[in-house]
Amino acid sequence: MTTQKIRQGRKFRQVLDGARQVFVEMGYERANVDEIARVAGVSKATLYSYFPDKRQLFSEVYQTEILNLADGALELLSPDAPPEQALRGAAKRLIGYLMSDFGIAMFRICVTETPRFPEIGQAFYENGPELGRARLGAYFRQAVARGTLVIDDIDLAADQFFQLCQTTICDRMLCGVQTKFSDDDIARVAEGAVDMFLARYAATP
């Protein structure tokens, strides 16, 4: 079954939307095909025609969501935009995803289920950190070519930026210490991440 074959049609979209809702509400282990089909408004036969098993469905749901996030962030990473502007917009979008019900649910599913189902962790990594590194790395290479950034290790710099965006807010949310954050809270983390990143990698005049 090719990706092109299954990525089409109203029923396919319904299956993904239904699965997304069930995975977020119930986690991976408790989610079952009957409930996903019910929420999606399709028959089990229709669901199985797209996805033979739950793990493949989970991977597709996560990949679709992350691609949407990456495409949106890529729009902000215009080759002509100065790093401070481009990275601030990308940071806020990334933090928004990390704070979302979906982002938190996917992280918890990955941590919980990977010891039993390593392919879930692999799908999470390939469609999350690895994809983000590639997309952000492409912008960094363009910025280096323009002379606005000085980076020797592009992959490491991309990973560092993502980690900077996860400070404070992510730990508090995952530990249940705090669940609501203001726009000022988000801006504080985003701007702090950008300022620290540029202190290391911005080209000196």
Query: What pLDDT digit, counting tens, does each position of 160-191 carry?
Result: 999 999 999 988 988 889 888 999 999 999 99
Is the pLDDT at 76 greater than 70, yes or no? no
Is the pLDDT at 15 greater than 60, yes or no? yes
Considering Cα of 188, then 193, then 196, then 197, what sign does the dihedral take? negative
For residue 202, the cross-strand partners are: 149
* 167 burial level (CB within 10 Å; 0-12, 13-18, 19+): middle
- Coil vs helix vs strand at 202: strand
Question: What pLDDT was estimated at residue 2?
Answer: 38
**pTM of the model as a whole:** 0.78
51 DSSP assignment = -
User: d(Cα 75, Cα 64) in Å, to the nearest integer?
Assistant: 17
Single out the residue of 64, 12, 70, 14 nearest to residue 38, CA to CA: 14
32 DSSP assignment = -
Amino acid found at 66: I
Domain boundaries, the chain: 1-52, 58-201
Top-level CATH class of 58-201? mainly alpha
What is the average pLDDT score of the chain?
86
Fold equal for 1-52 and 58-201: no
User: d(Cα 60, Cα 12) in Å, to the nearest integer?
Assistant: 11
- Whether the CB-CB separation of 77 and 136 falls below 8 Å is answered with yes
Q: Give mean pLDDT, residues 60-85.
A: 75
Report the CATH number of the 1-52 domain: 1.10.10.60
Q: Give mean pLDDT, residues 50-56.
A: 88
E-only strand ranges, the chain: none
Treating both helix axes as pointing N-terminal to C-terminal, what angle do 54-76 and 101-113 enclose, rounded to 10 degrees? 130
Is the pLDDT at 3 greater than 50, yes or no? no
Spatial neighbors of 80 by CB under 8 A, at least 6 apart, are none
